A and B are shown apart, each in its own frame.
Chain A
């Protein structure tokens, strides 16, 4: 059997673990705004106090057929399949930036529907496969 001292230690440790979990949980909960890396268009749409001169990030999918390239600038739409935001950007985009793929834009909101990006990052998903398999999948879907 466990001795009294060991039992007390287990009890104390148990209390410590629960208390620490609770503290971490509430700290992370209250910091949620800072922990999330980007907001979705829907979150921006629903956000009560939105700042138009602070740098924020918007993420989602690049809407298919929405990319229009100008001489220097590029415009496209970020969608989370519910709400959309038009993004305007000047500069180079990452290699993986493509229609239908994930994207995170960093910059400032002009209004709730229009975003001026200073930086574009590509976000890829957790699927990895050879090109042949992806082609075969596409063919079977069509």
Chain B
């Protein structure tokens, strides 16, 4: 599995694959939009504003997932010094960053018609904002620290510390009283979302995963190229 992400493999990656992924993405997004806007029913209390969920929940999942990977990659990176780990993590960071912002924005748009307020400083919303700030800090260390080894170390430490925030985000709604409702989807119990709403949620999640994969492949390829150019420069 990991072998497919080795630099020579990724450089050989055909642009046709990306193009076909983009076409596939467009098809899935169209199906997802039709399903979530037209076919799926309105909610019994919230009415049509429940449809924001189909963007909000998948974005939050991906934002958390990306940082989870960045954190684990940072650990592997500090201990074993695996060369491709920082490149993988670095390519994932902008994706997670954007999706955490999407999650916060759509959550805010959803909060106004349902709760009656755009933003509150409850544990869930605040910890999600902290996740976004961790992403910003992680990206900025790579951007503004020119020396690779130094940037690698600092960003890895940020990645590991940020890892602690993830269970706090996940369980904030159970540990403390929050305005945000508890999770509807969990590993241990049946989802509390009706299946007619779970289908568009799953399609939209799939669409965002493909999108993330495309962006990831493109930026990872760029990172590998950059590294090899730097290597050649240093050899001269």
Contacts and interface: CB of A to CB of B under 8 A. Distances in A.
A64 interface: no
Contacts of B184: 126-128
B197 A129 contact: yes
Of B43, B120, B179, B182, most buried by chain A (CB within 10 Å of CB) is B179
Nearest to B197: A128
A130 B42 contact: yes
A74 B181 CA distance: 25
A93 to B, nearest CB: 7
Contact of B46 (A17, A40, A96): A96
Interface string A8-33: 01100100110011001000100010
Contacts of B116: 93-97, 120-122
B164 interface: yes
Contacts of A127: 184, 192-193
B192 A126 contact: yes
B179 A104 contact: yes
B79 A36 contact: no
B50 interface: yes
A9 B79 contact: yes
Contacts of B122: 37
Interface string A101-126: 10010000000000000011111111
Interface of B: 41-46, 50, 53, 75, 78-80, 113-117, 120-123, 160-161, 164, 168, 176-179, 181-184, 192-194, 196-197
Interface of A: 6, 9-10, 13, 16-17, 20-21, 24, 28, 32, 35-40, 59, 93-98, 101, 104, 119-135
Q: Sort A-B residue pairs by CB-CB distance and give the 9 closest, nearest first.
A: A94-B116, A130-B41, A134-B44, A37-B122, A129-B194, A126-B184, A128-B193, A131-B44, A9-B79
28 contacts: A6-B79, A9-B78, A20-B161, A20-B164, A24-B164, A24-B168, A36-B123, A37-B179, A38-B179, A93-B116, A94-B114, A94-B116, A96-B115, A104-B179, A122-B115, A123-B179, A124-B45, A124-B46, A125-B182, A126-B182, A126-B183, A126-B192, A127-B193, A129-B44, A130-B196, A131-B43, A131-B44, A134-B44
